[in-house]
Amino acid sequence: MHFELKSISVQSIPEALAKVERYRLLNEPVLAESICLDVLAIVPDHQQALISLLLARTDQFHSNMNARAAQEVLAQIRGDYEQAYYAGIIWERLGSARIRQGGAGAGASAYHALREAMDHYEQARKLSPSGNDDAILRWNTCARTIMQNSEIRPGPEADPSHAWVGDEADSALADL
């Protein structure tokens, strides 16, 4: 079934983006994603909407680890700091989702994802504006997650990408 979607007005964008944040806080990332898509339908390069869309998509990793959808949004976000920081977010949230998913290889793939996140956060830290320590806070969270969970360890695989299962093994995550 197909419906013709209705457009929102440019004037409604600030309130729509406020709703995105509320829906994310209410753990309704699908609703947040939909609103972001409505904003982007009228202003395709709206940076706040793109960042919110990326975050809403990574909020869904617990039920659907579709990193490609988040990666597509990342490619549209401007700025070297932002690129590094949000690449780190994707990897960190994939690692967290993998921990929650459990199963064979979960610890090794989570370790790989969290270490990738830490690498991106380190790049972002070097590019961050004065007074912005967000990348340090995220790096520390990843480090604590690894240190506090004995199951999160590198696997015996020579190539860490083998630790990924399902569709993620075929995704372009290595390009992040």
Q: What is the pTM of this model?
A: 0.87
* Residue 158, pLDDT score: 44
Give the mean pLDDT of the chain: 90
| Higher-pLDDT residue of 138, 168 | 138
Lowest mean pLDDT among 137-141, 143-147, 158-162: 158-162
* Residue 104, pLDDT score: 87
Q: Is residue 157 part of a domain?
A: no
- Distances in whole angstroms, Cα of residue 61 to Cα of each of 4, 36, 94, 131, 164: 28, 17, 7, 30, 14
* Residue 64, pLDDT score: 78
Q: Is residue 171 part of a domain?
A: no
Q: Is residue 99 part of a domain?
A: yes
Average pLDDT over residues 89-113: 93
User: Could you tell me which residues come within 8 angstroms of residue 83 by beta carbon, excluding any fewer than 6 positions away?
Assistant: 74, 77
Q: Is residue 110 part of a domain?
A: yes
**How many separate domains does the chain show?**
2
Q: Which domain holds residue 138?
A: 79-150
Assign 3-state DSSP to the chain and report helix, strand, coil percentages, each to 5.
70, 0, 30
Picking from 101, 31, 21, the residue whose alpha carbon sits closest to that of residue 61 is 101
Q: Is residue 163 part of a domain?
A: no
- Domain final residue, candidates 24, 41, 74: 74
Phi, psi of 149 (to 5 degrees): -125, 105
